Amino acid sequence: MNQKILGLKTAHKEFLDFLQQKGRASATILAYGADLKQLIDFCQRLKRNSVSDINQDDLNAFKEFLAKDGYTPKSISRKINSIKTFFKYLIKQKHISNNPASNLAHPKYEIKPPRILSKMEYRALRDVCRNDIRIFAIVELFLQTGLRIGELANLQIDDVKDKQLFIRSYESHSSRKVPLNKAGWSALENYLKVRPKSKSKSLFITKTGKPFLIRNIRSTINRYFKLAGVDNAKVNDLRHTFIAHQLKAGTPLTLVSKLTGHKRLSTTEKYLSLIKKSDSEKFKLEEL
């Protein structure tokens, strides 16, 4: 076995380069990078300088350190996933012969179901942002199409055609077309009337004509959640709400999966346990 001594920082960079070459989502690469940097910093304090120096006791000590530092079991479990993937890569590349993470156990924690907004909640959200035409359009598109926040931020003017949205491929997600119902189209049309003139091709822009970034979309909608009195809600919960309400209205599972860009039908099926199955078999793309 060709097993040369590989420094921790070099291994870290090689692994992230590998993920990028594989086309993994930038958010995933960022998360892996942060998790492994935290592990590497911890191991270096233990005088571990290469990947072959790390053993299972070190990883268990890191796990205990995270727990004492206030990380939730869910966060620790995610970091363990990063660690396990990292060491599997090192084994495959023959940088190490034994995998110290193979028996690293995940902490137990309860997986919370997706947050589904009630009619009262999403109507309250609409009410508080109704005078903010841009945000109202964004909220309506989330509720009426189930877009991901990254997909919405990437929308361009040319992607709106014939009352449809063309969703560009976004990292590991494929492109697709999504129809706009009356509520979604009306909100978007009203926004386009007041959209600032700009050379930017982005559909949603700031007052100065720059693209409206994901972090700004998220922080603005979070502010409106608070104003609406909608507790413990996140932007992605608008997507969850679309999926759940469509299934409850009797929209076929395969169509909901296609509209939302789920790679697997099983992802959409998980929502069925959260709703009462509709008696109607007739397709109806319900407006929320």
Neighbours of 70 (CB within 10 A): 7
Q: Which of 107, 90, 104 is nearest to 60 (CA)?
A: 104
**Domain contains 22:** yes
Question: What's the length of the chain?
Answer: 288
Say yes or no: 210 and 74 in one domain. no
What tokens were used for 165?
């949205």
Residue 256 lies in a domain: yes
**Does any domain span residue 106?**
no
Tokens of 23: 């086309």
Mean pLDDT per 10-residue run, the chain (288 residues)?
75 95 86 95 94 96 96 94 96 94 91 88 96 97 95 95 90 86 96 94 95 95 97 95 92 93 91 63 48
pLDDT at position 280 is: 38
At 65 the pLDDT is 96
Statement to judge: residues 125 and 245 lie in one domain: yes
How distant, in Å, are the alpha carbons of 35, 41, 50, 100, 172 from that of 38? 5, 5, 15, 17, 26
Q: Is the same domain home to 79 and 144?
A: no
Task: Please tell me whether residues 254 and 140 are part of one structural domain.
Answer: yes
Domain co-membership, 151 together with 85: no
pTM score of the predicted model: 0.70
- CB neighbours of residue 72 within 10 Å: 12
Q: Mind listing the pLDDT tens digit for each residue in 209-237?
A: 999 999 999 999 999 999 999 999 999 99
Q: Same structural domain for residues 146 and 266?
A: yes
Task: For residues 125 and 264, state if they share a domain.
Answer: yes
- Residue 251, C-beta contacts closer than 8 angstroms, at least 6 positions apart: 283, 284, 285, 286
Q: Say if residue 49 is in the same domain as residue 156.
A: no
258 and 123 in a common domain: yes
Q: Domain range holding 35?
A: 8-92
The Cα–Cα gap between 134 and 160 comes to 15
Among residues 205, 185, 141, the alpha carbon closest in space to that of 167 is found at 141
The per-residue pLDDT for 110 is: 80
Dihedral angle sign, alpha carbons of residues 229, 232, 238, 244? negative
Which stretches of 76-222 are assigned E, i.e. beta strand? 160-161, 164-167, 176-179
Return the pLDDT at 277. 42
Largest CA distance in the chain: 66
Q: Does any domain span residue 54? A: yes
Number of domains in the chain: 2
In a domain, 109, yes or no: no
Q: What percent of the chain has pLDDT over 90?
A: 81
Statement to judge: residues 152 and 255 lie in one domain: yes
- Read off the CATH number of the domain in which 18 is found: 1.10.150.130
The position carrying tokens 């599972």 is 253
- pLDDT, tens digit, 9 for 90 and up, residues 274-286: 775 434 333 344 5
* Together in a domain, 150 and 239: yes
Q: How far apart (Å, rounded) are the C-alpha atoms in residues 268 and 134?
A: 29
- C-beta separation of 141 from 188 below 8 A: yes
Q: What is the pLDDT of residues 245-272, one digit of tens each?
A: 999 989 999 999 999 999 899 999 989 8
- 65 plus 154 within the same structural domain: no
Which residues does residue 161 pair with via DSSP β-bridges, in sequence order? 164
Residue 2 within any structural domain of the chain: no
